[in-house]
Amino acid sequence: MEKNISYEIGDIVRLKKKHPCGSFEWEILRVGADFRLKCVGCGHQIMIARKLVEKNTREIKKK
């Protein structure tokens, strides 16, 4: 079930679970072993493991 998707800075990813603010969409600010994501709804930033992002991604909107 390996997804061969290229994640790039500026892309918007839609994840399985929604953020407490109600948004499902996150902007990618940093790519590597960990990703830095910014919630599109409220602007909250998180660091999350690449594996979790790949597992929970529903769709990607390229910049």
- Rg (the chain; Cα; Å): 11
What pLDDT does 2 receive? 52
Q: Are strands 25-30 and 12-15 parallel, antiparallel or unpaired?
A: antiparallel
What pLDDT does 9 receive? 96
Contact 37, 13 (CB under 8 A): yes
C-alpha–C-alpha distance, residues 63 and 51, integer Å: 22
Q: For 3-60, write each residue's pLDDT tens digit.
A: 677 899 999 999 999 999 999 999 999 999 999 999 999 999 999 999 999 999 999 9
Among candidates 10, 19, 8, which has minimal Cα distance to 56? 19
Tell me: pLDDT of 1 over 50: no
- Stated pTM of the model: 0.87
Residue ranges per domain, the chain?
12-61
